[in-house]
Chains A and B, each alone.
Chain A
Amino acid sequence: MARIVVDPITRIEGHLRIEAEIEGGFIKDAWSSATMFRGIEKILKGRDPRDAWFWTQRFCGVCTTVHSIASVRAVEDALKIKIPPNAQLIRNIIMGIQNVQDHVIHFYHLHALDWVDITSGLKADPAKTAALAASLSDWPNNSPTYFKAIQDKVKAFVASGRLGPFANAYWGHPAYKLPPEANLMATAHYLEALEWQKDVIKIHAILGSKNPHPQSFLVGGMSIPIDPDSQNALNADKLIEIKRLLKKAQDFVEKVYIPDLLAVASFYKEWAAIGGGLGNYMSYGEFPDANGNLWFPSGALLNKDLSKVIKVDQGKIAEYVDHSWFENSAGAGKGLHPYEGETEVRYTGPKPPYTNLDTNAKYSFAKSPRYEEKAMEVGPLARILVAYASGHKETKAVVDLVLGKLGVGAPALFSTLGRTAARGIDALLIAQQTPKWLDELIGNISKGDYRIHNNESWDPSTWPAEAKGYGFHEAPRGALGHWIKIKDQKILNYQAVVPSTWNSSPRDAKGQRGAYEAALVGTPVADANKPLEILRTIHSFDPCMACAVHVMDVDGNEVVRVKVS
């Protein structure tokens, strides 16, 4: 049996290593290892809870808003702060465009090259490409001239002999199945999406100063003031610009992303039966209205059973470290709830440089979160399945439309292709919904409501001596939770259980695989030296490894004194 290693897994955020055993052209077993660690949660101890969003935002620069949102929510929960409706709407718009932009970048720039052979597009007929594109949507760029120009650009690039980031890839691999015209179309949209993403995300700059790492979050609300009569606040000019950009986002998703997704998927339908994995799904739900009701519902599904949605209880989450490079004084096989979480990093892997990890022992810096001891998959697929199973009207309509166009049934969603399709469905739903939150915000402003922050508990002297709270956020990559304990106005303990930790987790004490590992089992591999198929399934999760890895510290451990007051 051959063991292969893919390290680095590229076109993801962060540092991920996959080891897999291959037998008879299929993956028999797989191990997922996170190989980078920073320890930010440990660094957070003793600091001002109001600063935590800024620190945790640096867990990740790709999903650059998600930890800020979860963090301010955790502190607001601990201090019983209710934020003004406008702050909630601004957060919804920020989360909405983050989700849409992130999914488009994932599809074109991180995932597409698993399905699209750029070099094959050089053989395409531009006129036929335009005809293909025009049959899918009425996007204005669907002309032979446009595709010819793109093809010439790529030809000149290839002729220069310097392929840069496209060098040494799997071009010509037998698993690539798109005709040249579809390859050229996708290549053109790869370049177009690069332009598009930097434009639409200016919404974050307008509402939060910049992207990545927007800077207008506050415990209690947002820092971007509202005043139609001021140049230094959210005024009509800025609101109209946001509206224009949201329209641009929606147009691209409807007329380019979804048509491309359906076109590519129709050539790879066998991937609707590959990469299913765990079959347990969890979503925290998202986009609260002024009363706190969520637009996307929260829930969990077990064993691919869409008939029964289980209510999520944060008290049933625990993390295990039996195969992670951490120590846990609770003892082997014991998990700890994030409030009581306890971990000390202790690397026991091979001394670098190494060729293989000892996967019978500890083999990752990611921990193993479990829900009632069960491994769960989180992400757009989980979110869409939970919404679909809960009867969420908008979701049901789009899912049925996509399944109908591909001519497959709902079980096709439990797969690598299903994950990729669900991400598109998610982007479409949110791209269509976000303008409504902007309209609500404009409605509030026209009624004279300019409130963006609740000041009541801003001053730490008003806080109780001790408090604790948690914040859930259904991020682009799935269920994210932050837990905080506050004592004497400072962070006593801070813990995050992150989507990519759920998905990338190593085995737990019972030997249950994490979501990546489970999904890889049974995946075909045509050429062990060019494991393109591993990338397809792993990329379908959209890994974010900087998020996945963090250390949690024990309550009552010796707190290293942080030199700030």
Chain B
Amino acid sequence: MSIHKKSEVAETAEHGLETPGFSVGEILKQRGVSRRDFLKFCTVMTAAMSLPASFAPSVAQALDEVKRPTLVWLNFQDCTGDSEALLRAANPTVGEIILDILSVDYHETIMAAAGHQADEALESTITKYKGKYICVVEGSISMKDDGVYGCTSGKTHLEIARRVCGSAAATIAIGTCAAYGGIAAAVPNPTGAVGVKDAVPGATVINLPGCPCNADNLTATIVHYLVFGKIPAMDSKGRPLFAYGKRIHDNCERRPHFDAGQYVEHWGDDAHRKGFCLYKMGCKGPGTFHNCPTQRYNEKTSWPVASGHGCAGCSEPQFWDSMGPMYKRLPNVPGFGIEHTADQIGLGMAVGVASAFAVHGVVTALRRDKKPEETKEG
């Protein structure tokens, strides 16, 4: 049905996600989305996936040919913050996602059906499109006491996750809770909360942590999957490199102030008003891999550091325990270059090393023009 010759990637993607209906391109055309707007969207997505702009036509062609894929969205131990993030998506908007791009067959927060009619919708979708649908999970999964701390329709979330994620083509764990257990898994983890990969080890899981996840990263991940027919390259924590490959610190607009030793000392002081580095106010950017400084939020309006508050480290596993307290500065921030990914830096910083916070850490603020200067914490 497509006017283009089918590309190989689109063939592969289609094979995995075939659903009745027209191709995404056809559907968009029917809905009155102009070719120009469609190509604009493809260009934005290409940039979001950290691909060169020359890839945009391939993205457009592949999306043209992929049929409207099925998506089910499950809410477990969550706060619905990631669903709300989806509502704020701009490229495409949630209206376009629901009506045009994906067939969102189950999402408790927005779906019209309730009770057993909702149950039936989920059952029929996962049966009909077994192995072909994309599952998005929001919220952690309670494992303690056979999972009684999270139930929907009388079934535990653990049981639902095993069935639904187990039969999905791929599962996107959206937000830090679904990815790593998140806030519910913070010490002492009263309900034995874990992320999807720990609850359903056999599932193909892409982690999109963040509290909440940036909706642009969700869209880019889905588009990546549709275009290339495979999940994006990920780091050892299951995060796509295109969104989590670089540290906040390395892309931060305030990095020059860090390098120059210009720090905010008090909230509202002159340095704070001028936009100096928030490191001394507890910013966790040096230990956090995420594309917030470049992707930003709410149609690129802002991100935490731009509002005068440090990064909380929310895309790192167990950040609730390893990165806190929030206003305590990270010890031992070395001057790694941007070529170092999370895997290379490993756990060397603060992650998992809770005791490090007990010691009055010595902080190294590397300056380019002189030898490392030591700044006493206090």
Question: What residues on B are CB-neighbors of A208 within 8 Å?
Answer: 307
Q: Which one of A10-18, A370-378, A419-427 is at the interface?
A: A10-18
Q: Mark A381-393, 1 if CB is under 8 A from B, else 0.
A: 0000000000000
Question: What residues on A are CB-neighbors of B187 within 8 Å?
Answer: 43, 560, 562-563
Question: What residues on B are CB-neighbors of A274 within 8 Å?
Answer: none
Residue of B nearest to A207 (CB): B307
- Given A109-B110, A352-B159, is A7 in contact with B309 using a C-beta cutoff of 8 Å? no
Q: How far is the CA of A224 from the CA of B90 in the complex (A)?
A: 25
Q: How far is the CA of A365 from the CA of B184 in the complex (A)?
A: 15
Q: Mark A202-240, 1 if CB is under 8 A from B, else 0.
A: 101111111111111010110111110011110000000
Q: Is B75 an interface residue (CB 8 A)?
A: yes
Pick from B98, B153, B156, B184: contact of A38, CB below 8 A. B184
Q: How far is the CA of A105 from the CA of B106 in the complex (A)?
A: 19
Contact A9 B80 (CB under 8 A): no
Q: How far is the CA of A51 from the CA of B357 in the complex (A)?
A: 15
Contact A38 B20 (CB under 8 A): no
Q: Is A3 an interface residue (CB 8 A)?
A: no
- Given A10-B113, A160-B27, A215-B312, is A352 in contact with B147 using a C-beta cutoff of 8 Å? yes
Q: Mark A345-370, 1 if CB is under 8 A from B, else 0.
A: 10101011111000000000100000
Q: Which of B175-224 contact A (CB under 8 A)?
A: 182-184, 186-191, 193, 211-212
Question: What residues on B are CB-neighbors of A220 within 8 Å?
Answer: 267
Contact B98 A165 (CB under 8 A): yes
Q: How far is the CA of A156 from the CA of B99 in the complex (A)?
A: 9
Q: How far is the CA of A354 from the CA of B89 in the complex (A)?
A: 37
- Given A201-B298, A352-B159, is A215 in contact with B105 using a C-beta cutoff of 8 Å? no
Question: What residues on A are CB-neighbors of B117 within 8 Å?
Answer: 168-170, 530
Contact B154 A353 (CB under 8 A): yes
Q: Is A318 an interface residue (CB 8 A)?
A: no
Pick from B80, B112, B153, B312: contact of A7, CB below 8 A. B153
Q: Which one of A57-65, A71-79, A124-132 is at the interface?
A: A57-65
Q: Is A447 an interface residue (CB 8 A)?
A: no
- Given A201-B298, A207-B307, is A11 in contact with B109 using a C-beta cutoff of 8 Å? yes
Q: Is A138 an interface residue (CB 8 A)?
A: no
Pick from A61, A64, A166: contact of B112, CB below 8 A. A166
Contact B297 A210 (CB under 8 A): yes
Contact A546 B326 (CB under 8 A): no
Shortest distance from the beta carbon of A539 to any chain B beta carbon, whole Å: 10
Q: How far is the CA of A109 from the CA of B109 in the complex (A)?
A: 9
Question: What residues on B are CB-neighbors of A233 within 8 Å?
Answer: 273-275, 308
Q: How far is the CA of A2 from the CA of B154 in the complex (A)?
A: 18
Contact A546 B78 (CB under 8 A): yes
Q: Is B375 an interface residue (CB 8 A)?
A: no
Pick from B32, B140, B268: contact of A453, CB below 8 A. B268
Q: How far is the CA of A230 from the CA of B272 in the complex (A)?
A: 10
Q: Is B108 an interface residue (CB 8 A)?
A: yes
Question: What residues on A are CB-neighbors of B149 within 8 Å?
Answer: 36-38, 345, 347, 365
Contact B275 A160 (CB under 8 A): no
Q: Is B362 an interface residue (CB 8 A)?
A: no
Contact B268 A451 (CB under 8 A): yes
Contact B21 A160 (CB under 8 A): yes
Q: How far is the CA of A351 from the CA of B156 in the complex (A)?
A: 9
Q: How far is the CA of A153 from the CA of B307 in the complex (A)?
A: 39
Contact B272 A352 (CB under 8 A): no
Q: Is B143 an interface residue (CB 8 A)?
A: no
Q: Is A323 an interface residue (CB 8 A)?
A: no
Q: How far is the CA of A35 from the CA of B149 in the complex (A)?
A: 7
Q: Mark A182-216, 1 if CB is under 8 A from B, else 0.
A: 00000000010011011001101111111111111
Contact A564 B98 (CB under 8 A): no
User: How many A residues, CB 8 Å from partner?
Assistant: 110
Q: Is A149 an interface residue (CB 8 A)?
A: yes
Contact B154 A354 (CB under 8 A): yes
- Given A35-B152, A169-B117, is A216 in contact with B309 using a C-beta cutoff of 8 Å? yes
- Given A47-B324, A354-B154, is A458 in contact with B302 using a C-beta cutoff of 8 Å? no
Residue of B nearest to A105 (CB): B87
Q: Mark B100-124, 1 if CB is under 8 A from A, else 0.
A: 0011111111111111111011000
Q: How far is the CA of A104 from the CA of B50 in the complex (A)?
A: 36
Q: How far is the CA of A61 from the CA of B324 in the complex (A)?
A: 21
Q: Which of A267-312 contact B (CB under 8 A)?
A: none
Contact A54 B326 (CB under 8 A): yes
Q: How far is the CA of A170 from the CA of B113 in the complex (A)?
A: 7
Q: Is A139 an interface residue (CB 8 A)?
A: no
Q: Which of B139-158 contact A (CB under 8 A)?
A: 140, 142, 145-157
- Given A209-B304, A215-B309, is A352 in contact with B156 using a C-beta cutoff of 8 Å? yes
Q: How far is the CA of A206 from the CA of B108 in the complex (A)?
A: 30
Q: How far is the CA of A152 from the CA of B211 in the complex (A)?
A: 38
Shortest distance from the beta carbon of A465 to any chain B beta carbon, whole Å: 19
Shortest distance from the beta carbon of A53 to any chain B beta carbon, whole Å: 9
Q: Is B325 an interface residue (CB 8 A)?
A: yes
Q: Is B95 an interface residue (CB 8 A)?
A: yes
Shortest distance from the beta carbon of B230 to any chain A beta carbon, whole Å: 24
Question: What residues on B are CB-neighbors of A331 within 8 Å?
Answer: none
Pick from B93, B109, B159, B193: contact of A194, CB below 8 A. B93
Q: How far is the CA of A206 from the CA of B306 in the complex (A)?
A: 9
Contact B151 A352 (CB under 8 A): yes
Contact B110 A58 (CB under 8 A): no
Residue of A nearest to B212 (CB): A212
Residue of B nearest to A563 (CB): B354
Question: What residues on A are CB-neighbors of B79 within 8 Å?
Answer: 13, 58-62, 546
Of B76, B99, B151, the most chain A CB neighbours within 10 A belong to B151
Q: Is A93 an interface residue (CB 8 A)?
A: no
Question: What residues on B are CB-neighbors of A232 within 8 Å?
Answer: 273-275, 306, 308
Pick from B30, B77, B304, B320: contact of A156, CB below 8 A. B30
Q: Which of A455-514 contact B (CB under 8 A)?
A: 455, 458
Of A10, A47, A233, the most chain B CB neighbours within 10 A belong to A10
Question: What residues on B are CB-neighbors of A530 within 8 Å?
Answer: 117
Shortest distance from the beta carbon of A212 to any chain B beta carbon, whole Å: 4
Residue of B nearest to A48 (CB): B325
Q: Is B358 an interface residue (CB 8 A)?
A: yes
Q: How far is the CA of A168 from the CA of B125 in the complex (A)?
A: 12
Q: Is A146 an interface residue (CB 8 A)?
A: no
Contact A564 B357 (CB under 8 A): yes
Contact A60 B80 (CB under 8 A): yes
Contact B115 A58 (CB under 8 A): no
- Given A8-B118, A40-B183, A212-B212, is A351 in contact with B146 using a C-beta cutoff of 8 Å? yes
Contact A223 B68 (CB under 8 A): no
Contact B267 A221 (CB under 8 A): yes
Contact B103 A162 (CB under 8 A): yes
- Given A64-B84, A194-B87, A452-B268, is A37 in contact with B150 using a C-beta cutoff of 8 Å? yes
Q: Is B130 an interface residue (CB 8 A)?
A: no
- Given A58-B183, A59-B79, A210-B304, is A39 in contact with B190 using a C-beta cutoff of 8 Å? yes
Shortest distance from the beta carbon of A545 to any chain B beta carbon, whole Å: 9
Of A5, A60, A212, the most chain B CB neighbours within 10 A belong to A212
Question: What residues on B are CB-neighbors of A157 within 8 Å?
Answer: 99
Contact B80 A62 (CB under 8 A): yes
- Known contacts A58-B182, A165-B98, A210-B298; 13 additional CB pairs below 8 A are A8-B108, A8-B152, A61-B85, A152-B32, A162-B19, A162-B70, A169-B113, A202-B298, A210-B302, A220-B267, A230-B275, A232-B273, A560-B188
Can you report 14 residue pairs joining A to B where beta carbons are below 8 Å apart?
A10-B118, A12-B109, A14-B80, A37-B149, A61-B85, A160-B68, A161-B21, A162-B68, A215-B309, A224-B308, A231-B275, A453-B267, A546-B79, A565-B357
Task: Report B's interface with A, CB cutoff 8 A.
Answer: 19-22, 27, 30-32, 68, 70, 75-85, 87-90, 93-95, 98-99, 102-118, 120-121, 140, 142, 145-157, 159, 182-184, 186-191, 193, 211-212, 266-268, 272-275, 297-299, 301-309, 312, 320-321, 324-328, 354-355, 357-358
A-B residue pairs, 7 tightest by C-beta: A61-B81, A232-B275, A39-B190, A169-B112, A210-B297, A209-B307, A563-B354
